[in-house]
Amino acid sequence: MRDYRQFYINGQWVDPLTPNDFEVINPATEDFCALISLGTADDVDLAVAAARQAFSSYGRSNRQERIELLESCVAIYKKRYEEVAVAIREEMGSPQTFAMEEQADCGLGHLEEALRVLRDFEFEEEVGNARVFKEPIGVCGLITPWNWPLNQIACKVAPALAVGCTMVLKPSEIAPLSAHIWSEIMDEAGVPAGVYNMVNGDGPGVGTALSQHPDVDMMSFTGSTRAGVLVAQNAAPTVKRVAQELGGKSANIILDDADLEQAVERGALHMFSNTGQSCNAPSRMLVPAAKLAKAEEIAARTAASVVVGDPADEKTTMGPVVSKAQFDKIQGLIDAGIAEGAKLVAGGPGLPEGIDKGYFVRPTVFSGATNDMRIAREEIFGPVLTMIPYDTEEEAIAIANDTVYGLAGYVQSGDMDHARQVASRIRAGNVKINGASGGYAVPFGGYKQSGNGREWGAHGFTDFLEIKAVEGYEG
């Protein structure tokens, strides 16, 4: 059992001012695997004060100093890489292979990408008779979720460090183990005292205090749209910048000229990846009506191929969902899909066969759904695929855009020009054609209620920078 009850403030591991033990549950076993303490506004005050003090010097550090710091972070992360993966397996039930190859890789990938961008980033330019400077915004409050715990920490901390900001991180209390190891990495890498701080806690106790704090200059939040609205409301009185990456209900349009077998299998496997707990998951599969029966067969066969079980077993391809609350929510939405008349093609309610413990969900496929059903409107955040038939391409595009969200979109086609044309009409911040991935340099973020701002790569620097124009600079 891990004892992670201390916070990291001003370069030191410190006890919470008011102890409040919280058990972290391993979702595969339902046993607790660690203890943390939930912080309070008083702990946030200490961390913000440390960050504010550190900004007076780190905010004026030069590029080379920050390059060397990120190089050190990369080196230490590589040493701790496997520990990070094991922690993610324990805290959220990620299968070991997926934790090693995908989840833990995110931390390293974002550090290396921030380092690459920093080497050549233009922090100033001439505009007319003015010199325009891009300066660090100041003290940043970072709130991260449990579904990609290291990804969301790294894609915020790395660019903030790169541009000269200081910060206070509140990781998810549901999956805080990898965040603790990340904080140890920051310490061992030599991040100056106060530049990076970490306080565990829940939204009401720590998240609200960070968002409202007058000495926090910007908030970067990843999580549900509901919680994102609260962060923005709490931040509004101090007029601080708020960058948000929120929910999604992404459409995967399989065009009539696509290879149906390949497109359906790829889309279904993507949906079941990370147990469906990804905000950009292709949860609505739009299929030509004439091909729906065949697509159902492919999706059912793909669901049957998913190996659900012990995350420590290398044969496992899908672990549990993160908590009982998530399990209950998903079960309720599966029941709703059945009640609303969608056709259950695979999976369904209850635990998978042969499993009697843990928050495991059956890989589930609904078909014949309409876009007004709950399973097509709400973010289920579990391994549940909703297949919706369409008659015309115009109808498919309309269905794809008929959502309050706009985080991601997917297009499958055998004709690249055709795919590009359809992709251009999807109202989403990230669209993938035929399963392509651009890596850590590609900006990530959403339209509409999926948030604002962009993370990853050079675009991820923007929200952490202020713009200063000095007119007459050249004399």
Positions marked active-site: 245, 279
CB 296 within 8 A of CB 350: no
3-state per-residue secondary structure call for the chain:
CEEECCEEECCEEECCCCCCEEEEEECCCCEEEEEEECCCHHHHHHHHHHHHHHHHHHCCCCHHHHHHHHHHHHHHHHHHHHHHHHHHHHHHCCCHHHHHHHHHHHHHHHHHHHHHHHHHCCCEEEECCEEEEEEECCEEEEECCCCCHHHHHHHHHHHHHHHCCEEEEECCCCCCHHHHHHHHHHHHHCCCCCCEEECCCCHHHHHHHHHHCCCCCEEEEECCHHHHHHHHHHHHHHCCEEEEECCCCCEEEECCCCCHHHHHHHHHHHHHHHHHCCCCCCCEEEEEHHHHHHHHHHHHHHHHHCCECCCCCCCCCECCCCCHHHHHHHHHHHHHHHHCCCEEEECCCCCCCCCCCCCCCCCEEEECCCCCCHHHHCCCCCCEEEEEEECCHHHHHHHHHCCCCCCEEEEECCCHHHHHHHHCCCCCCEEEECCCCCHHHCCECCCHHHEECCECCHHHHHHHEEEEEEECCCC
Find the length of the chain.
475
CB 355 within 8 A of CB 309: yes
Contacts of 52 (CB under 8 A, 6+ apart): 139, 166, 215
Cα angle 90, 378, 143; round to 5: 45
- Sign of the C-alpha dihedral computed for residues 189, 191, 194 and 198 taken in this order: negative
